[in-house]
Structure 1
Amino acid sequence: MPTAAATSVADVIASRRQDLVELSHQIHAEPELAFAEHRSCAKTQALLIERGFELTTAVAGLDTAFRAVYGSGDLVIGICAEYDALPGIGHACGHNIIAASAVGTALALAEVADELGMTVVLLGTPAEESGGGKALMLDAGAFDDIAATVMLHPGPIDIAAARSLALSEVMVRYTGRESHAAVAPYLGVNAADAVTVAQVAIGLLRQQLAPGQMCHGIVTDGGQAANVIPAHAEMAYTMRATNSESLRELETRMAGCFAAGAVATGCSHEVREPAPGYAELKPDRWLSSVIRAEMLRLGRTPVPEEVEASVPLGSTDMGNVTQVMPGIHPVVGIDAGGASIHQPEFAAAAAGPSADTAVIDGAIMLARTVVALATDAGERDRVLELQHRRAA
């Protein structure tokens, strides 16, 4: 039987449906990129400020990161809101849905915070697509007082205990020497050729990659004029693996490929990481079981538990959070006509009727899951004990 608090939070979210859907659409209509989500950040804060949440801005030194806090109970629950978009294709990852559902969850939990001895913390986390906002906030202590963290992500299907791949990104810059491509090519040192050699080496490496390892990249600078031997060239590469240990192995092998371009052409090269790496998701088993039950209760059809680990997924900085505290990152399905995330068709669907339903369903599922945690004495004690150990 649902508790009175579980029923209450669902009713609150249903009563705020218009506000939450409008928030989702407003963020969707003005997509903003990593670390520059100023309008989206302000929109996400508005309903929380109205409800009386205490707001701290520019958390971890990030202009578009914030913490909104309500209540004073010993059980501190984090809810992550994302709101950054993708270059060129807007909200093709549906972060507008994430932000709106997070706000709905927070508003609902505020109504029962005192009753359940909770402190509700909504964290505005920028730059998930590129930049690792949560990882930066985690390192800066923004999650230190939190016992468990929840959020959800839209996708083409429902997944209760979603997994993700560990990820790291690098920029590789080659430096050679300019020369006229016809008059004195032998005086030049071709940085673009270094890129070509490195990419050939990476292509050959792919045959020997371990299961779950992958790499993909683009050339961001290949020269400026065809009749000038380019002295500078640059690539951006992303590496992924099923876990952080496997990722480290892949990074070592990729480093050899990058170095091969320099050795073969006589260029120098520099490899830098522009953002923190993303760890793999480690969904909390108990919280995942509750969110699965909530999906089923709402008539959704999450993929069977036995195949969850094999569903192809991307990477998220929420993985870093779940490595250090109990947390979940379920996927809530929307109808995108067969499209998947990071496609223009998914961006269009992220403001459609099924996306609006996902905002409300998602908020209800997360809020009821948190209520279940707060009212289960054993599980409440478990997450509090883990938090106390981290703080010690």
Structure 2
Amino acid sequence: MTRRRGDLLELSHSIHAEPELAFDEHRSRAKTQALVAERGFEISEVAGLDTAFRAVFGSGELVIGVCAEYDALPGIGHACGHNIIAASAVGTALALAEVADSLGLTVVLLGTPAEELGGGKALMLDAGAFDDIAAAVMLHPGPIDIAAARSLALSEATITYTGRESHAAVAPHLGVNAADAVTVTQVAIGLLRQQLAPGQMVHGIVTDGGQASNVIPAHAELRYTMRATNSESLRELETRMAGCFAAGAVGTGCEHVVTETAPAYAELTPDPWLSETVRAEMVRLGRTPVPPELEASFPLGSTDMGNVTQLMPGIHPVVGIDAGGASIHQPQFTAAAVNASADTAVIEGATMLARTVVALAESDVERGRVLELWQRRAS
């Protein structure tokens, strides 16, 4: 890992310097592929996803996926540190390539676009990009170290209300006000919040509230995100939110359409053995991960890596960087994602993931468990 330190940090800083949004990460995709292509990884496309890829090295029975994210956030760039994720994933893949033959490994670096909005991994699962993979690993930067990181299940919807225009002063009685439907809906949601189950939350924005104050708006639009501790609770929340969305239409006489904007994200379910192994690697590197009994108190928001961990053993640990008290999705975290602690996270993160995979490959019991789970899934 030390030998490739300069290349990996250059990759992290280069992706950070040219942030690209979901499904438009063409430069970031090319940058993430470059080092593994030089090492001899065989790169292939993923059907239907221009900025996804698979890069494969080795021919061992145990196939390990290493997930690289590289999309940024609108307006604030890499405030989630996906440049660190991509560089550490490349470092992990390169390290494992050195021992793939001796350990009976096949290493698959997966370029996974659109984690922030679009569910790239969920789409890649549907496209078969994970079909041959027995276990998947990745990491995420954050303010603290968490070995068995958890996340919330998530779904997003766009709600469109259609009414009828009219002059707001001359003939308001002839209009059907779509903006009023938005108001009724938001009031209903505000009242619902008091009765939300623990772990459930909703947040949204108005993306269209009319174009002129003297015209009764015939079109208005909301975008809402719903989260819950697990997918079952999320489905219950979606049902209750659907009633709020309908209330806006019923109360104003508008028509409304609810459109899912991306695949739903399932909750992270980290593999216990892999989590404890990566925890030991954190400690070995001098880090202080959150105690296991407190990990559930630090949810990560939501990630499409949750969909992956529902189907196969996987981990998504958080590697702490010094962000001066800032959290992810803040501009201060964008700046921190290329500081000295972020560079350390790239190298140490790749080291801990690679050593965790090596430990899995060398354990007859755990290797057998993971392969048996894959065989069940494949049959």
TM-score norm. by structure 1 comes to 0.96
Q: Which residue of 2 aligns with 1:18?
A: 6
Q: Distance in 1 between matches of 2:215 and 2:24?
A: 36
What does the per-residue CA deviation read over 1:177-207, in whole Å, with 9 as the maximum and x for residues that have no partner? 0000111000000000000000000000000
Deviations 1:224-248 (A, max 9, x none): 1111100000000000000000000
Asked if residue 238 in structure 1 is aligned to residue 225 in structure 2, the reply is: yes
| Aligned-pair CA distance for 1:279 | 0.1
2:165 is the counterpart of 1:155: no
Which residue identity does 1:98 align to in structure 2? Answer: I
Would you say 1:82 and 2:104 are equivalent positions?
Answer: no
Is the contact between residue 152 and residue 299 of structure 2 (CA under 8 Å) also seen in structure 1? no
**Equivalent residues of 2:135, 2:313 under 8 A apart:** yes
Instruction: Give distance in 1, aligned partners of 2:205 and 2:180.
Output: 15
Aligned residues: 379
Query: Match of 1:108, as an amino acid?
Result: A
1:31 counterpart residue number: 19
Q: Which amino acid aligns with 1:75?
A: L
The one-letter code sitting in structure 1 at the alignment partner of 2:134 is: A
2:35 to 47, 51, 64: 47
**2: CA distance, partners of 1:174 / 1:305:** 46
The one-letter amino acid of 1:195's match is V
Q: Find the residue that maps to 1:309 and give its secondary structure.
A: helix
Whether contact under 8 Å (1:212, 1:242) holds in the other structure is: yes
Q: What residue in structure 2 maps to residue 66 of structure 1?
A: 53
Match for 1:325: what amino acid? M
* AA of the residue aligned to 2:255: S
Question: Tell me, which stretches of 5 or more residues in structure 2 are unaligned?
Answer: none
User: Once the two structures are aligned, what percentage of the paired residues are identical?
Assistant: 84
1-structure distance, mates of 2:78, 2:353: 22
- Residue type matched to 2:248 in 1? G
- The reply to whether residue 350 of structure 1 matches residue 337 of structure 2 is yes
1:388 is matched with: 375
8 Å CA contact 2:156–2:224 kept in 1: the answer is yes
Q: For 1:313 and 1:327, how far apart are their aligned partners in 2?
A: 16
Kept in 2: contact 1:60–1:136 (CA 8 A): no
SS in 2 for 1:386: helix
User: Counterpart amino acid of 2:102?
Assistant: E
CA distance in 2, matches of 1:308, 1:390: 29
> How far 1:337 sits from its partner (Å)?
0.1
What is the rounded CA distance, in whole Å, between the counterparts of 1:289 and 1:301 in structure 2?
A: 13
Q: Which amino acid aligns with 2:372?
A: E
The separation in 1 between residues aligned to 2:368 and 2:9, in whole angstroms, is: 35
Read off the aligned partner of 1:114 and give its amino acid letter.
D
Query: Is 2:296 the counterpart of 1:313?
Result: no
The CA distance in 2 between the partners of 1:381 and 1:158, in whole Å, is 29
Residues 44 and 103 in structure 1, CA contact (< 8 A), matched pair in contact too: yes
| Corresponding position of 2:326 | 339
2:268 to 281, 286, 299: 281
**Residue 139 (structure 1) shift:** 1.1
What is the identity, as a one-letter code, of the residue corresponding to 1:266? Answer: G
SS of match in other structure, 1:219: strand
Structure 2 equivalent of residue 3 of structure 1:
none
| Structure 1 counterpart SS, 2:51 | coil
The 3-state SS of whatever aligns with 2:50 is coil
SS state at 1:90 partner: coil
Deviates more, 1:200-209 or 1:310-319: 310-319
- Give the superposition deviation at 1:388: 0.4
Shift of 1:140: 1.3
Partners of 2:282 and 2:4 in 1: CA distance: 20
Specify the alignment match of 1:103 in structure 2.
90
Q: Could you tell me whether the CA contact under 8 Å between 1:159 and 1:331 is conserved in 2?
A: yes
- Aligned partner of 2:176 among 180, 189, 193: 189
- How far the C-alpha of 1:313 sits from its partner, in A, is 2.1
Task: Choose the corresponding residue for 2:277, options 284, 287, 290.
Answer: 290
Contact 1:31-1:90 within 8 A present in 2 as well: yes
Instruction: Give a deviation string over 1:18-50, Cα, whole Å, max 9, x none.
Output: 000000000000000000000000000000110
List structure 1 runs of 4+ shifted beyond 2 angstroms. none
Give the counterpart letter for 1:297 in structure 2.
R
Alignment partner of 2:132 out of 122, 145, 151: 145
* CA–CA separation in structure 1 for the residues paired with 2:282 and 2:368: 25
Match of 1:8 in 2: none
Deviation (angstroms), 1:310: 1.4
- 1:107-151 deviation line (CA, Å, top 9, x unaligned): 000000000000000000000000000000001111010000000
Instruction: Give, in angstroms, the shift of residue 60 of structure 1.
Output: 3.1
The two structures, once aligned, show a CA RMSD in angstroms of 0.4
Any conservation in 1 of the 2:149–2:299 contact (CA below 8 Å)? no
CA distance in structure 2 between the partners assigned to 1:32 and 1:281 by the alignment:
25
Instruction: Give me the whole-angstrom Cα distance separating, in 1, the residues matched to 2:80 and 2:240.
Output: 30
Q: Deviations over 1:66-102 (max 9, x none)?
A: 0000000000000000000000000000000000000
Amino acid of the structure 1 residue aligned with 2:110: L
Aligned counterpart in structure 1 of residue 212 of structure 2, from 201, 219, 225: 225
Unaligned runs of 5+ residues in structure 1 are: 1-12
